[in-house]
Amino acid sequence: MSKKSTRQAYGEALVELGKINKNIVVLDADLSKSTKTDLFKKAFPERHINVGIAEGDLIGTAAGLVTCGRIAFASTFAMFAAGRAFEQIRNTVAYPKLNVKIAPTHAGISVGEDGGSHQSIEDIALMRAIPGMVVLSPCDAVETKKMVFAAAEYEGPVYLRLGRLDVETILDEEYNFQIGIANTLREGKDVSIVSTGLLTQEAMKAAEELAKENISVRVINVGTIKPLDGETILKAAKETKFIVTAEEHSVIGGLGSAVSEFLSEVYPTKVKKLGVYDKFGQSGKGAELLEKYDLTAAKLISIIKENL
């Protein structure tokens, strides 16, 4: 399988989008080479703004531009967007329901060597809590591109979570992404893995290995964490024995929490969570950190066997 980072796919998608929509503007906080918005800058220098190392200004300027009819994509690292600029996102973008797309890169512990201070494992929880905020998390380059176009068409605030690490491309170009709809990538009757981001690749690997032992695993890729696709989650809860959620994020407030909160009210079901358990990240190579924090197919297999 080919590999590409979701941040690279994001930069490429912005260029494609910019060619067909003259209202697209892209803003960055002095990290355009890392966020890959430099690709858009090269293609459309008059529609790219570097606000400098000032994340509050990044969001405030994006908000101002959309009041003039633009569609603004604002990018920096996830730690700085969801963390440092939280107040501006809440009060300047979400409160007035402005058409700003916050699209940070370098989310999760796979950021690697930048260490725990820069590895955002709380951003989904923060963005989920904001009223009216759509939260997207692509699993690969194909889904990223489709999310960028869907976000541009959606009227309102969107948080699009992107990563640094090159990840396997597992979806084909025929993949149909719609905001609010989860996609079942593999059918199964014993257990369901509900995954997002690069853990979807691990979910597919786990399902393939378990099939060799006659354990049937359903894999559901949740590209939209908010609004959650309750219909697909409920169907999985009713048709399989239990659910395992998988995400490169804290188990507090992320996908696992969203699934548990939903099912507890409509169809109480056993939910096991794979994610980061109340710890900070640390410096190391991205792939090695995923192993260290057990964000792997092997851990998914272990959880499923222990609970069947």
**Domain edges within the chain:** 3-168, 183-307
Say what the pLDDT of residue 228 is.
98
Per-residue pLDDT tens digits for 168-212: 999 999 999 999 999 999 999 999 999 999 999 999 999 999 999
Say what the pLDDT of residue 284 is.
95
* Residue 190 exposure: Cα atoms within 13 Å on the Cβ side: 13
Residue 284 burial by Cβ neighbours in a 10 Å radius (0-12, 13-18, 19+):
middle
Parallel/antiparallel/unpaired status of strands 224-226 and 134-136? antiparallel
Please give the CATH topology (third level) of the domain spanning 3-168.
Rossmann fold (3.40.50)
Burial 98-130 (b: 16+ CB within 10 A, else e): bbbbbbbbbbbbbbbebeeebbbbbbbbbbbeb
Q: What is the DSSP letter of 242?
A: -
Residues 172, 137: Cα–Cα separation, whole Å: 17
Catalytic residue ranges: 55
Q: Which CATH class is domain 183-307?
A: alpha beta
**pTM, to two decimals:** 0.97
Say what the pLDDT of residue 34 is.
96
Backbone angles phi and psi of 27, in degrees to 5:
-120, 150
Q: Which helix (H) or strand (E) covers residue 4, if one does?
A: strand 3-5
Average pLDDT of the residues of the chain: 97
| Six token digits for residue 76 | 């920096």
Q: Which helix (H) or strand (E) covers residue 194, if one does?
A: strand 191-195
